[in-house]
Amino acid sequence: MTALTRGAIPAADRVVVKVGSSSISGENAHRIDTIVEALAAAHGRGTEIVLVSSGAIATALPFLQLEGRPNDLATQQAAAAVGQNVLMWRYQTSLDRFGLLAGQVLLTAGDLEHPTPRSNARRAMERLLGLRILPIVNENDTVATQEIRFGDNDRLAALVAQLIGADALVLLSDIECLYTRPPGEPGARPIDTVEADDDMQGYEFGTVVVNSVGTGGAATKVSAARLAAASGVGVLVTSADFVSDALGGREVGTWFVPADVARPLPTGPVGTVPGPRR
Q: Which residues are annotated as a binding site for ATP?
A: 18, 173-174
Q: What angle is formed at CA 86 by the lines to CA 82 and CA 89, rounded to 5 degrees?
A: 145
d(CA 150, CA 102): 23
- CB under 8 Å to 258, separation ≥6 — which residues? 2, 3, 4, 196, 228, 229, 231, 232, 233, 234, 235
E strands along 14-55, which residues? 14-19, 48-53
Closest CA to 100 of 156, 43, 141, 158: 43
d(CA 83, CA 185): 35
Closest CA to 112 of 229, 275, 233, 267: 267
- In the annotated binding site for substrate, the residues are 54, 141, 153
Helix (H) or strand (E) holding 256: strand 254-256
- In the annotated binding site, the residues are 18, 54, 141, 153, 173-174
d(CA 158, CA 46): 22
CB-CB contact of 233 with 166 (8 Å): yes
DSSP string over 205-234: --S-EE-SS-EE-HHHHHHHHHHHHHTT-E
